[in-house]
Structure 1
């Protein structure tokens, strides 16, 4: 348990440091967030043709309302937490990779729902937008990472633990 905690903490510190570095921001966060905005806008356009995206911004061309996806709103933190927990937990690498890939998509799918809902909520009520953005959705994304990790744990193969040697019958073990 201590090994898991220390490895988890070390991975969190390392990955969060990389995330906030100039390199991480320029080569991971900005491009990824741009893709997230494009995917969200594409999905919105399926029922609302007046939406465009540019960079990290999604905008309604009719009323001018726009949301920008900032660092911290891209789900990367939840993915970092999940990756750290999966890698720190003792399990086969094949299962770790499957958990990371499926977990990434689970978190980002929910994050796209979050972005789209906030885009429309911001047009409806700024007070509700702020509350959902700052409190409810932040917690739900992190809880999603926790739920994915717990589900991943459930599907890990059972480890064989060495047990005590089988008891011997004294009548069978004594020479006759």
Structure 2
């Protein structure tokens, strides 16, 4: 447990530090966020036309209302937490990769629901928009990462007794 805790904290600190670096923001985070905006517009247009995106902004053409997907709203922080939790835990690499891939999809799917709901809430009532944006959705996205990690833990194969770092046990003597 100590090894997990230390590695988890080191991965969190390292990944959050890398995320805020200007080259990473410009070349990874902003294009990723613009992609989320495009996917959000694609999904909105399945039911409601007149929505465009430019960069990280989603705008209703008729009303002019727009939301900008800012850092903290693109799901990257939840992905970092999930990555650190999965890769700090002693498990086979294949399990870690599969778990993170599924978690990535789960977090981003919920984040798309979040962005689209906030887009409509903001057009309807800014008080509700602020409450959902600052409190409810923030907690739900992090909770999503936690639930994915817990489900992933349950899918892991049982660990053998020598996986915990203790010396192997001698076989009982037979006569």
TM over 0.5: same fold?
A: yes
Superposed structure 1 runs of 4+ greater than 3 Å apart = 162-168
Matches for 1:36-51 after TM superposition, within 5 Å: 36-51=36-51
2:77 aligned residue:
77
Q: Deviations over 1:6-51 (max 9, x none)?
A: 0000000000001111111111110000000000000001111110
Q: RMSD across aligned C-alpha pairs, in angstroms? A: 1.4
Q: How far has the Cα of 1:57 moved from its partner?
A: 0.5
Q: Secondary structure at the match of 2:24?
A: helix
Alpha-carbon distance in structure 2 between the residues aligned to 1:60 and 1:6: 46
2:165 aligned residue:
none
Matches for 1:1-176 after TM superposition, within 5 Å: 1-161=1-161, 173=175
| Greater Rg over alpha carbons, structure | 1
Which range moved further: 106-115 or 23-32?
23-32
* Long gaps (5+) in structure 1: none
Q: Secondary structure at the match of 1:49?
A: coil
Q: Output the TM-score relative to the length of structure 1.
A: 0.93
Q: Secondary structure at the match of 2:62?
A: coil
Alpha-carbon distance in structure 2 between the residues aligned to 1:141 and 1:15: 18
Alpha-carbon distance in structure 2 between the residues aligned to 1:167 and 1:87: 36
Alpha-carbon distance in structure 1 between the residues aligned to 2:171 and 2:3: 30
Q: Deviations over 1:86-130 (max 9, x none)?
A: 000000000000011110010000000000000000001000000
Alpha-carbon distance in structure 2 between the residues aligned to 1:64 and 1:46: 19
Q: How far has the Cα of 1:164 moved from its partner?
A: 5.9
Alpha-carbon distance in structure 1 between the residues aligned to 2:46 and 2:57: 18
